[in-house]
Structure 1
Amino acid sequence: MTSNNSILTPGTVDIRSIKSTDTIPLRHSVLWPHAPASYVCLPEDEEGAHLGAFVPGTVSPVCIISMFVESLPHVEVPRADDSDTIKAVRFRKFACDPTYQGQGIGTLLLQHVFLMAKAELLADVVWCDARLSSASWYEKRGMRPFGEKFWKGSIEYVRMRIDV
């Protein structure tokens, strides 16, 4: 993990909605740099909400994430009162420019997703497919693994969730 050692003060990270096309450069360069850029485009991108984190002096987001209303896979778990099923929000294609990693920007963006999922989308749970190499990072932010591990190409994944 690389850091440019700058100290971010409260209010210096601007999180805002962006177009799905604005996520492609970071998705590609961070997540799948050896695949064609089209590999990181999702058929459902136009139905999702896309967020970018900006820091002073940047015109492009330094961290991005995409959110989709999508049920938990394989299991629909009833709420405690059994009156309905859990409403879930899935985030995908979460990437931070390596220059800005380790400064808390990704944590701020993920916390923003949790709050937005609860307050605006009325979600009960937020989940993702996490690279196994990143699972401990998500656990430190309150998420927990569920289900079996699986592979996408040569990368091992585990599903992670948090109740919001």
Structure 2
Amino acid sequence: MSTDIDIRRISAEETVPLRHAVLWPDRPISYVLLPEDSSGFHFGAFVPESSTPVAVISLFYDPSLSSATQNLASQSVDPSSRVARFRKFACDPAYQGKGIGTRLLQHAFEVAAKEMGCSVIWCDARLSAAGWYERRGMRKVGKIFYKGDIEYVRMMREL
């Protein structure tokens, strides 16, 4: 199936239904909206049988040495590096395990490196998904923390 995936840039608004349904279905839609959505790069993965994306990811510049970036810098990353962060990465459960999320994440890595000029990318990952990210070249940095009652860990990758 992964050969029939079309990955393309989409609007922030087009990411919202899937973000909400997959990541935080018990919260109001406003919970999955980000103040920086208007300045992000948003991508959707489409399959022939669907007119809406079956996976979405949003990519942002990390504009300053935020506490997150400082934590990354302490992990042997040059603090002057341009840094990208991805957020709200979601794949429709009916399409998980088919290589779609992997392709979309790889696309985000390529955009961050080639178009955004970043040498590092990071995210806050649900601890339950950390192994999935590790198999795709990311590594854990920092300690486990919580968003609501869900365990998270910061993960990064040099590009």
Query: Shared fold by TM > 0.5?
Result: yes
CA–CA distance in structure 2, aligned partners of residues 28 and 113 of structure 1:
20
CA–CA distance in structure 2, aligned partners of residues 113 and 125 of structure 1:
12
* Superposition map of 1:15-164 within 5 A: 15-70=7-62, 71=64, 73=68, 75=70, 77=73, 85-164=80-159
Per the TM alignment, residue 69 of structure 1 is displaced from its structure 2 partner at its CA by 0.2
Closer, same or farther in 2 for the Cα pair 1:52/1:9, shift >3 Å?
closer
Identical residues among aligned pairs (%): 55
- Structure 1: stretches of 5+ with no match in the other structure: 1-7
CA–CA distance in structure 1, aligned partners of residues 73 and 21 of structure 2:
36
* Equivalent AA in structure 2 for residue 140 of structure 1: R
Per the TM alignment, residue 74 of structure 1 is displaced from its structure 2 partner at its CA by 5.1
Secondary structure at the aligned position of 1:56 is classed as coil
Per the TM alignment, residue 77 of structure 1 is displaced from its structure 2 partner at its CA by 2.8
Given that 2:2 and 2:99 are in contact with CA atoms closer than 8 Å, whether structure 1 keeps it comes out as no
Structure 1 stretches of at least 4 aligned residues deviating more than 2 Å after TM superposition = none
Greater Rg over alpha carbons, structure: 1
RMSD value over aligned CA atoms? Answer: 1.7
Secondary structure at the aligned position of 1:90 is classed as strand
CA–CA distance in structure 1, aligned partners of residues 47 and 69 of structure 2:
38
Secondary structure at the aligned position of 2:25 is classed as coil
Secondary structure at the aligned position of 1:44 is classed as helix
CA–CA distance in structure 1, aligned partners of residues 107 and 137 of structure 2:
14
Per the TM alignment, residue 86 of structure 1 is displaced from its structure 2 partner at its CA by 1.3
- Structure 2: stretches of 5+ with no match in the other structure: none
Closer, same or farther in 2 for the Cα pair 1:132/1:9, shift >3 Å?
closer
User: Which TM-score applies when normalising by structure 1?
Assistant: 0.89
CA–CA distance in structure 1, aligned partners of residues 136 and 150 of structure 2:
22
Per the TM alignment, residue 9 of structure 1 is displaced from its structure 2 partner at its CA by 4.9
Report how many residues are paired.
153
* Equivalent AA in structure 2 for residue 142 of structure 1: G
Q: Which structure shows the bigger proportion of residues in helix conformation?
A: 2
Secondary structure at the aligned position of 2:7 is classed as strand
CA–CA distance in structure 2, aligned partners of residues 63 and 117 of structure 1:
18
CA–CA distance in structure 1, aligned partners of residues 2 and 125 of structure 2:
28
Per the TM alignment, residue 32 of structure 1 is displaced from its structure 2 partner at its CA by 0.2
